[in-house]
Structure 1
Amino acid sequence: MLVSQILKTKGDAVFTATPNETLGALAALLNARRVGALVVLDNERVVGIVSERDVIRAVAEEGAAALSRPVGDVMTKDVIFAEPGDRVDQLLSRMTDRRIRHLPVCKDDRLVGIISIGDLVKSKIGEVEAEADGLRAYIAAG
């Protein structure tokens, strides 16, 4: 299965933040949107990604004062991207190796979606279940 197929089902909505927003505002947005990460944009250009883990680390290191820091200080700047034509197996491996849970999806340097490891696992489970159903039907007809 391809990323583009997952996005057709899931949708292409991406929640974003700016580098100047505070971690406190970001935490509220993560909670309100019920998501684990936001893509950080500066004039439509992806400049980072920030996750719940980033917020927790900052608070653990600095206490409540961290919530007034700008997102740009704690975001991951070296963003790893997915493309619509990437395969689920490729991305599961990439995300596992790098210990990341979210990948912005870009096409021609334009943000077109975001996928999580949960999206990929759900897709993989659906694929395996469909294959098992096919094998059961083949054996039953046999």
Structure 2
Amino acid sequence: MRNVRHLLEAKSPEVYAIAPDAPMIDAIRLMAEKRIGALLVIKDGRLAGIVSERDYARKIILQGRSSKTTAVSEVMTSDPRTVGLEDSAEHCMALVTDQRIRHLPVVVNGKVLGVVSIGDLVKAVIEDQQQELVQMQRYIES
């Protein structure tokens, strides 16, 4: 099974982030522009939280708040679950499943290195299973 280091190596190195004092409209625009479902919230170079489309729907739209006047810090999830480079994809899959989250920031020694999404994890599991099937077929045929 792969680890987070392998997952990050297989994807774009870009990490999209926003400041906690930015208005939510800027966060939503950036997510739409980049076609992503969440942004890391960075303050003074450190991870302060994460904000997602789900947060926007539940904490802005459903509560009748203004995305132009509501700061990201009012909507974000503070102290999000994070993973390190050596965590396994299996461990990450368990976290996103148990916590019902879709994105895991990758943080080492306080530095944000990337984000692993549930899509990244599903892709890795499928690829690993395909590789296992090929190996089993080769074993059976030999």
TM-score using structure 2 length: 0.94
Q: Helix, strand or coil: the match of 1:68?
A: coil
Q: Which has the higher helix share?
A: 1
Preserved CA contact (<8 Å) 1:59 1:67:
no
TM alignment of 1:1-142, pairs within 5 A: 1-57=2-58, 58-63=60-65, 65-140=66-141, 142=142
Structure 2 unaligned segments of length 5 or more: list them.
none
Structure 1 residue 109 displacement after superposition: 1.1
Structure 2 Cα separation of the partners of residues 116 and 130 of structure 1: 21
Q: Deviations over 1:67-126 (max 9, x none)?
A: 420000000002110100000111111111111000110111100010101101100100
The sequence identity of aligned pairs, in percent, is 34
- Whichever residue aligns with residue 72 of structure 1, its letter is S
Q: Distance in 1 between matches of 2:40 and 2:87?
A: 19
Q: Which whole-Å deviations, capped at 9, do the CAs of 1:25-55 have from their partners, x for residues lacking one?
A: 1111000011000000011011010000011
Look up the equivalent residue of 2:23 and give its one-letter code: T
State the Cα distance separating 1:11 from its structure 2 match: 3.1
The whole-number CA distance in structure 1 between the counterparts of 2:13 and 2:103 is: 14
Q: Unaligned stretches of 5+ in structure 1? A: none
Q: Distance in 2 between matches of 1:105 and 1:19?
A: 19
Give the root-mean-square deviation of aligned CA atoms.
1.0
What SS does structure 1 have at the residue aligned with 2:48? strand
State the SS of the aligned residue for 1:61.
coil
Rounded to whole Å, the distance in 1 between the matches of 2:76 and 2:45 is 16
User: How many residue pairs are counted as aligned between the two chains?
Assistant: 140
Q: Write the distance in 1 (CA, Å) between the matches of 2:72 and 2:26.
A: 9
| Aligned-partner Cα distance in 1 for 2:40–2:79 | 12
Q: Distance in 2 between matches of 1:67 and 1:26?
A: 10
